[in-house]
C-alpha cells in the first residue's frame, strides 16, 4: 500500500505584485482541483466579489484590473 498525501490547504495569499495602470497580481495557494473566489474591501466590513479562478495545480494568480489607486483588502475562499 502506497502512502498518499492529501492536500486540503485553506486559501492563502502568497504574494502581490503591482502591475501598473491600476492592476495588481495576487498569487494564491490552496486545495487543488477547486476554485478560488476573490473578494475586495476598502473598509474591512463590506466585501465585493471580484471573480472566480480555477485552481488546477495548488497555486494560481488572479489579476485585479480595477484596483485603481484605492486602498483594498483582499479575501479568498474555496468551496
Cell of 51: 471573480
> Is 2 within a domain?
no
DSSP H/E element including 25: strand 23-29
> Is 33 within a domain?
yes
Domain count, the chain: 1
Model confidence pLDDT, tens digit, residues 13-68: 999 999 988 899 999 998 888 899 999 999 999 999 999 999 898 789 999 998 87
> Is 6 within a domain?
no
> Is 49 within a domain?
yes
Output the pLDDT for position 4. 47
Model confidence pLDDT, tens digit, residues 45-60: 999 999 999 989 878 9
- Separation of alpha carbons 50 and 47, rounded Å: 9
> Is 7 within a domain?
no
For residue 47, give the DSSP letter: -
Q: In terms of residue numbers, what domain contains 63? A: 12-77
- Report if pTM > 0.85: no
Amino acid at each position: 500500500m502506497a502512502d498518499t498525501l492529501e492536500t486540503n490547504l485553506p486559501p492563502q495569499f502568497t504574494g502581490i505584485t503591482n502591475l501598473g495602470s491600476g492592476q495588481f497580481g495576487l498569487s494564491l495557494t490552496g486545495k487543488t482541483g477547486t476554485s478560488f473566489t476573490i473578494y475586495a474591501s476598502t473598509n474591512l466590513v463590506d466585501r465585493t466579489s471580484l471573480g472566480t479562478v480555477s485552481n488546477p495545480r495548488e497555486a494560481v494568480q488572479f489579476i485585479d484590473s480595477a484596483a485603481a489607486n484605492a486602498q483594498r483588502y483582499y479575501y479568498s475562499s474555496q468551496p
